[in-house]
A and B are shown apart, each in its own frame.
Chain A
Amino acid sequence: MTDMTPDPIAERRRWMAVLARAEADEIAALLAALPPLPPHERLRAPETGLVMVRGRAGGDGGAFNLGEMTVTRCAVRIGGVVGHAYVAGRDKRQAELAAALDAALQDPARRAALMDGVIAPLDARQQAARDAEARRAAATKVEFLAMQTTR
């Protein structure tokens, strides 16, 4: 993430990143506890396609094509605001929920409630899962002991 981007875009990128990592059921369950989102109009029905994933030679050299991954995208409109989603995998429901939320979150009147009710809890869960994995990895870190030289 670059810090050069103006704030509204940085914030939007954050919620899009969280929604891309969430499951449709999780998102729907959190939304169910909130006042329903206004109905949306589909500008582009959920569609599954591919993104070519790139790497760099030596990790930091020239780009090369590693292989493709499945991605599902969707675009919707709520009022005059367009919401987009591009999410890894083939879950069309997740993509449509993410696009609808992207549209609703751009509305300052709804943003705070949706950030608190949906994005923050998803983010916390994802952070916790990442943290648990990183602590599991840390438990497998080798602590070298100096060997006594024996004669």
Chain B
Amino acid sequence: MYVAVKGGERAISAAHAWLDETRRGDPAVPELTVAQVEQQMPLAVDRVMAEGSCHDRFLAALAIKQAKGDLIEAAFLLRAYRTTLPRFGASAPLETGAMRLRRRISATYKDLPGGQVLGPTFDYTHRLLDFALAAEGTERATAPEADAPVPAVPRVTELLAREGLMQREDPGDGEPGDLTREPLAFPAARDVRLQNLARGDEGFVLALGYSTQRGYGGNHPFVGEIRVGHVAVEFTPPELGFPIEIGEIAVTECQMVNQFKGSRTEPPQFTRGYGLVFGHGERRAMAMALVDRALRSAELGEDVTAPAQDQEFVLYHSDNIEATGFVEHLKLPHYVDFQSELENLRTIRAALVRESLREAAE
């Protein structure tokens, strides 16, 4: 229990003034613009959009600046902002098969239609600090352009599904559940689980995905495909009655291919773990796909023994904004609670002292 206490206004206002000053840093150093954050820290922007569950690059960049680079605080700011806006409706499901690819790789097929397209990746970089970046205004490399563009290519999972080796997804029907409207209920269906994981904390989902690889509920994953690129968003305004494209967004999709020993009704085949996230977030999409597959254990008739397979454990703890709220609320005054604990402890100790005195006297 915590009680409202009057006072402290002056201290709070001084603390906020100091916060502003520390955000600005040394005034001799030029101030960071929101456009600079947006353009030059695109992956931080992507993470904040994903965890803030709101696609708007400028707002995410502004939140990062305001939060002094604390990305969970920035996601919190974005989530808070979205509650001020009306919801116009829902888009048609993204057609990721028609993605304009920047990157597309498969670890299961060397030669596949469309090929291995590396895109702007950190892979194959040496992970040595590049001191050239510390010098401003140096010449940058220009990315070369091939004669022919990369075409849109079918998904790898589709190639396997055509052969009957990959379980087809249930096409589903009706409205998917929405965590922004209804609280979690268990057992949670896959639509709700995917929404939860898509906006879950990257570190938490990554650690859970990692745990499945280390033997806590593993399913021999292969990266069937990772694709990064732009997809058109289609929305049907009620006043028009037909779908229109309202723009394009960047997303990352990961299809994990996993073994499945089959069941009484289904032959042995591969199954999918799926990851889809805003922006370029490969680690996040891969981790999501691993955990999605782990959470399908129950419906695929596998033993549910590991943390990553436990719906309640995963879905209740993945949201870093809820988590930070509950952990950080411990900072709020708990004076009355603590006073009663203190009194309790003193009473117990006094009783123990009386007891031992009486025993000594006997």
Would you list which residues of chain B between 84 and 104 have a CB under 8 Å from chain A?
Answer: 85-94, 96-97, 100-103
Q: Which of A12-20, A32-40, A103-111, A117-125 contacts its partner?
A: A12-20
> Quick check: A50 and B86 within 8 Å, CB to CB?
yes
Partner of A17, one of B101, B198, B245: B245
B159 within 8 A of partner (CB): no
Contact of B96 among A52, A59, A65, A130 (CB under 8 A): A59
User: B241 → chain A, closest Cβ, in Å?
Assistant: 9
Question: In the complex, which residues of chain B have a beta carbon less than 8 angstroms from the beta carbon of A132?
Answer: 145
Is A51 in the interface zone, CB < 8 Å from B?
yes
Q: For A54, what are the chain B residues with a Cβ–Cβ distance below 8 Å? A: 90-94, 176
- Whether the pair A61, B235 counts as a contact (CB closer than 8 A) is no
Interface residues of B in 311-339 (CB under 8 A from A): none
Number of contacting residues on A, CB 8 A? 54
Once the chains bind, are A139 and B143 in contact (CB under 8 Å)?
yes
Known A51-B91, A142-B116; judge A64-B176 contact (CB<8 A).
yes
Of B58, B178, B191, B246, which contacts A20 at CB under 8 A? B246
Residue A113 CB within 8 A of the other chain: no
Q: Does B67 contact A (CB under 8 A)?
A: no
Flag if B146 contacts A63 (CB, 8 Å): no
Residues on A with C-beta less than 8 A from B151 are 134
Q: How many residues of B contact A (CB 8 A)?
A: 86
Chain A residues whose CB sits within 8 angstroms of the CB of B55 once the complex forms: 53, 67-70
In the bound assembly, the distance between CA atoms of A132 and B191 in angstroms comes to: 36
CB < 8 Å: which of B87, B97, B237, B276 contacts A68? Answer: B87
Across the interface, do B246 and A58 meet the contact criterion of CB distance under 8 Å? no
Are A86 and B158 in contact (CB-based, < 8 A)? Answer: no
Q: Interface stretch among B6-14, B29-37, B164-172, B214-222? A: B164-172
- Say yes or no for B59: interface residue by CB 8 A criterion: yes
A137 with B103: CB separation less than 8 A: yes
Task: Indicate with 1 or 0, residue by residue over B223-264, a CB within 8 angstroms of chain A CB atoms.
Answer: 000000100110101011011111111010101000000000
Interface residues of A, Cβ cutoff 8 Å to B? 5, 9, 13, 16-17, 20-21, 47-71, 73, 75, 84, 86-90, 130-142, 144
Q: List, sorted by A's number, 7 A–B pairs whose CB atoms are closer than 8 Å.
A: A51-B91, A54-B92, A58-B169, A59-B157, A60-B97, A60-B171, A67-B54
